[in-house]
Amino acid sequence: MSAELDESASNDPEIQLVTFRLLDESYGINVMQVQEVLRVAEIAPVPGAPHYVLGIINLRGNVVTVIDTRTRFGLPRGEINDLSRIVVIESESQVVGILVDSVAEVVDLRLSEIDSAPNVGNEESSRYIQGVASMDSDLLIVVDLNKLLSEQEWAEMSMF
């Protein structure tokens, strides 16, 4: 019996997601890629940066590029307030910050609970949307951070 359970678990691994809010939706990202969550301090704009780059911050002597997640997801820009956070993530060997409206909680999910999102219309978003999961009475959009930017865009994140 326990062997069967073990086999079942290995076939359907459990993952933990850090959830955050953008506008009226909840999004989840792999907790293993989250380094820390910061309150929003001064973000210095960078001349000539892409429109989805808000600017740079000094994180303990390191310059970290901050992405406006709303802009990247095609949502209207929002106002930064007390709930806004910068989630520092690591992806494709790059450390960047993503600005979100608020950070909620860490949830546990099984991989089987993530349903593939129907690929309708927007090919851009379907690239980084891994799927949709049910969370209580809400739906959670699971994001594949590695595909949030193209390979070239990731490489340029360290060049600001």
Partner 1 sequence: MQRRPREQPETESVATTLADSDEAVYNLLESLLQEVDEFDTQPSVKAEVQRRVEQEKVEVAVVEPVVEQVKVLPTVPIEQAIVAETDTYSEQPLPGWAKGSISCLICEVEGIEIAVPMVILRGIAVWDMKTLPMPVQPEWHLGVVDYRGNKITVLDTARLIMPDKVRQTADERRRDHAGHFIVINDTMALSCDAIKQTIKLEQDEIRWRPKRPTRPWAVGTLIDRLCILLDTQALLEEIQDV
Q: How far apart are CA 60 and CA 41, in angstroms?
A: 13
Non-local (6+) Cβ contacts of 45 within 8 A are: 54, 55
Question: Of 148 and 157, which CB lies nearer to partner 1 in the complex structure?
Answer: 157
Decide if residue 76 touches partner 1 (CB under 8 A).
Answer: no
Where in 24-63 is the site for partner 1 (CB under 8 A)?
A: 42, 44-48, 51, 55-58, 61-63
Question: Of 1 and 41, which CB lies nearer to partner 1 in the complex structure?
Answer: 41
Phi, psi of 127, deg, nearest 5: -65, -45
Q: Provide, rounded to whole angstroms, the least separation between the CB of residue 151 and partner 1.
A: 7
Asked if residues 73 and 145 have their Cβ atoms less than 8 Å apart, the reply is no
Asked if residues 103 and 18 have their Cβ atoms less than 8 Å apart, the reply is yes
Binding site for partner 1 (CB under 8 A): 42, 44-48, 51, 55-58, 61-63, 151-152, 155-156, 159-160
